Amino acid sequence: MAKLDFSFENAKKLMDGYYPLYIDGKWMDGSDKEVMDVYCPANQEKISSVACASEKDVDTAVKAAWRAFPAWSKISLTERYNILQQMYARLTARATELGMVESLETGKNMAGNVGEIYFAIDQFPYFASAMRVAEDGISSAADGSKTMAVREPVGVVGAICPWNAPIIMCAWKLAPALAAGNCVVMKPSSFTPAGTMELLKLVADLLPPGVFNVINGKGSKTGQFLMDHPGISKLSFTGSTEIGVQVGLAAAKRLIPATLELGGKSAGIYFADIVPDLLDEALGYAAVMLFMSGQGCALQTRCIVQESIYDMFVDRLAEVFRNYKVGMPWDTSARMGSIAYEAHMNSVLDYIDIGKKEGARLVCGGSRITSGEMGKGFFIEPTLFADVDNGMRIAQEEIFGPVLCVIKFKDEEDAIRIANDSVYGLGGGVMSGDLAKALRVAGAMRTGTVTINNAATHLAGAPFGGFKQSGLGRESYRTTLDHFSEIKTINFKY
């Protein structure tokens, strides 16, 4: 595909000015005619609007999904595989356009965002293949009899997606749900629904009516209606731990399964033996959290550095932060974009004030960018705190912004203690010239993912999920199919 000219106007042209609900294979307005506007956080300009689903609309979507379920759940694995492969082909052909739309509505930098899109859509061929090899198991019970384990879909999945990586989260939920034979009712974030709607437009005709339904609206209304609907067989949620607890309780009340991918306060451990060979690599790894303006649940937000290199590391890292270019999403030379919406920007700024009051040393950043073109949007300078105690709020609570805390440690045991001293356990990393030590520390960290020496991450087939208050279950892995399936035992004689 030819390279597209990414600008605000060109990206906006890729979007519809208005997105209705999509229920039972049809586009329709909400029954109460409520509409919600969508804005670009980089300049606060309106880019689209969506219909909001009422409780009646949610009920219509769930019932449509159940009508579609008997036929969809019984189609052959080969046919389902082919459909998911066709979805992948279409999405791949339009990945750049999807990246432009998502960058416009999230404020994220376009250059890195396209890579996220390819990672997201790779879930479709992965789970199509995983389902084909997830064979039923048969064992002998006695002479003349067998025991057979059969995988069956759970039914109708209620999927609730976040605003920070909407297309990734849509794919992470949709691909395994469809591969396992389920139907889906999905609610995108009220801040960033356009990317999901554009993905839907590309694949809608490949699926029978009712198999994939998308409803928009506020989480407190539409999301709550979906959580509480008695026709939902499973809930899949990505978002804050606070809301995740509510989703988990809603599932528990009806004794249905829930997959919860929640918050994080990920720690990167930097040993003194990274000097000199791995120092530049380590500094780059520490600054990766700026890519999404810190708005990623697994991004490193605690930088735990051995005391003998602490001062040097902070000085060098501050240089990286000061030179990290912040810019509009369509600025191809920029590396970091805006915060997703105003209330969240204010929350991040409040945490920066808390850090200063707690006694942490603000090394660089810490302010909203108010000059030039970025002054129209929700931009915060890359912010670095040093002399941070792990007990401070800025080291314990999820800020979800471009704020990195640098904490000092003495030895290996001390590093592990600090890293694990958190209610979260989602991501983490180790930088060391001693691979045996790095593997030992990685094994001791109570977290779902550990990256050693800035290794490549985010591959389909790599489990994603967390320990402790970072959630329940794993996504992007073959066992994810277990979360979208019921396993039935059949005993028979012959």
Per-residue confidence in pLDDT tens, the chain, 494 aa: 345 688 999 999 999 999 999 999 999 999 999 999 999 999 999 999 999 999 999 999 999 999 999 999 999 999 999 999 999 999 999 999 999 999 999 999 987 788 889 999 999 999 999 998 876 777 776 778 888 888 999 999 999 999 999 999 999 999 999 999 999 999 999 999 999 999 999 999 999 999 999 999 999 999 999 999 999 999 999 999 999 999 999 999 999 999 999 999 999 999 999 999 999 999 999 999 998 999 999 999 999 999 999 999 999 999 999 999 999 999 989 999 999 999 999 999 999 999 999 999 999 999 999 999 999 999 999 999 999 999 999 999 999 999 999 999 999 999 999 999 999 999 999 999 999 999 999 999 999 999 999 997 677 889 999 999 999 999 999 999 999 999 999 999 88
Phi, psi of 300 (to 5 degrees): -65, 125
Question: Does residue 73 sit in the same domain as residue 199?
Answer: yes
Q: How far is Cα of residue 463 from the mean position of the Cα atoms in its chain?
A: 13
User: Is 464 within the bounds of a domain?
Assistant: no
Question: Does residue 295 sit in the same domain as residue 230?
Answer: no
The pTM of the full predicted model, rounded to 2 decimals, is 0.95
User: Is 349 within the bounds of a domain?
Assistant: yes
User: Is 24 within the bounds of a domain?
Assistant: yes
Comparing CA positions, the residue from 487, 476, 491, 494 lying closest to residue 176 is: 476
User: Is 248 within the bounds of a domain?
Assistant: yes
User: Is 247 within the bounds of a domain?
Assistant: yes
165, two tokens? 């990586």
Question: Does residue 112 sit in the same domain as residue 171?
Answer: yes
Compute how many other C-beta atoms are within 10 angstroms of the C-beta atom of residue 22.
Answer: 22
77, two tokens? 């694995």
Question: Does residue 245 sit in the same domain as residue 273?
Answer: no
Question: Does residue 252 sit in the same domain as residue 292?
Answer: no
Cα distances (Å, whole numbers) of residue 374 to 42, 98, 327, 334 = 7, 23, 7, 12
Question: Does residue 166 sit in the same domain as residue 296?
Answer: no
Instruction: Please report how many Cα atoms fall inside a 13 Å half-sphere around the Cα of residue 45, on the Cβ side.
Output: 14
Structural domain count, the chain: 2
Q: Which CATH number fits the domain that encloses residue 387?
A: 3.40.309.10
Q: Which CATH number fits the domain that encloses residue 42?
A: 3.40.605.10
User: Under 8 Å CB-to-CB from 76, ≥6 apart: which residues?
Assistant: none
Residues forming the active site: 261, 297
Question: Does residue 413 sit in the same domain as residue 489?
Answer: no
pLDDT at site 352: 98
Q: Which range marks the domain in which residue 332 is found? A: 266-459
pLDDT at site 1: 36
pLDDT at site 135: 67
User: Is 180 within the bounds of a domain?
Assistant: yes
Question: Does residue 486 sit in the same domain as residue 455?
Answer: no
CA pair distance 270, 331, nearest whole angstrom = 32
User: Is 112 within the bounds of a domain?
Assistant: yes
Question: Does residue 421 sit in the same domain as residue 484?
Answer: no
Q: In what order do the strands lie in the sheet with 212-214?
A: 26-28, 21-23, 212-214, 183-187, 156-160, 234-238, 258-261, 471-472
pLDDT at site 156: 98
CA pair distance 194, 101, nearest whole angstrom = 7
Cα distances (Å, whole numbers) of residue 233 to 71, 77, 178, 184, 350 = 17, 21, 14, 10, 39
| Angle between the N-to-C axes of helices 435-444 and 412-420, in degrees from 0 to 180, rounded to the nearest 10 | 30
Strand pairing report for 467-468 and 45-51: unpaired
User: Is 465 within the bounds of a domain?
Assistant: no
Question: Does residue 195 sit in the same domain as residue 48?
Answer: yes
Q: What's the one-letter identity of residue 5? A: D
Question: Does residue 35 sit in the same domain as residue 183?
Answer: yes
| Preceding peptide of 276 cis, ω within 30° | yes
The conformational region for residue 109 under phi > 0 = left, psi -120 to 50 = alpha, else beta, is beta
Question: Does residue 107 sit in the same domain as residue 125?
Answer: yes
Cα distances (Å, whole numbers) of residue 114 to 9, 168, 173, 174, 468 = 18, 11, 19, 19, 31
pLDDT at site 494: 84
